[in-house]
Amino acid sequence: MNQLLDNILERSQLQKIAILAATIILISALYYSFVYSPKSDEVAKLADSVEIARNEKNAKQLKAANLPRLQRDLKMLDMQLAKAVAELPNQKQIAALLTHISAQAQQAGLNVLLFRPRAETFQEFYAEVPVDITVKGNFHNTVSFFDAVGRLDRLINIDNIGFRNPTIAGDNVIMETTSVATAFRFLNEAERKKVAEDKAKAAAKAKK
């Protein structure tokens, strides 16, 4: 180990910075592969809890009449439902959420080279909204961006992180960072019905 360190210290400043950049890229790739792991299971559980809360609320409303205890239960269910739905935006809110993610990159001091939404992927109660993102800047600003996205109230999954074209600018290593940010939105009743119909058609076709 000491011999390796001595070998690195004997190199020129440019070589030291290049070695540092390669080390940072390796460590950060490993770090984000564990920290920003896919959240599909968490989203599915949230979607289920929303559906269960809505069903319970509807059942309680039928029985509520003027009983104070049931009315209190309804109020509690409303609060639980609002909390669960808050983490899954609806179709109208998703555009604002994506704009906010792009703004977070700019606020972190990054140059946004690419911000391209892909086609949505529909699940039973929610849709995945993936976005290809490429930003350019130093390592610290890139980490700040990912941290800001991770702190959003909405569920956002960042994966497929990659680094390319590292360059030296003074004491900084400037690089392009590619990733896929996946937002999740709750399906409305019509969309859930269509998903169910499509699944039924696919199942019937598979049996033929």
- Map out the domains of the chain with their CATH numbers: 2-43+88-193 (3.30.70.60)
Q: Residues 144-179, buried b or exposed e (16+ Cβ, 10 A)?
A: bbbebbeeeebbbbbeebebeebeeeeeebbbbbeb
- Predicted local confidence at residue 178, as pLDDT: 93
How big is the chain by its Cα radius of gyration, in Å? 23
pTM over the 0.85 mark:
no
The alpha carbon of residue 93 and the mean position of all alpha carbons in its chain are separated, in whole angstroms, by 15
- pLDDT tens digits, one per residue of 152-206: 877 788 888 898 888 887 777 888 999 999 988 888 788 888 888 888 888 777 7
Mean pLDDT by 10 residues, the chain (208 residues): 48 57 58 52 70 76 63 70 61 79 92 92 86 92 88 82 86 88 84 84 77
Give, in order, the Cα–Cα distances in Å from 181 to each of 27, 110, 116, 136, 156: 20, 16, 10, 16, 7
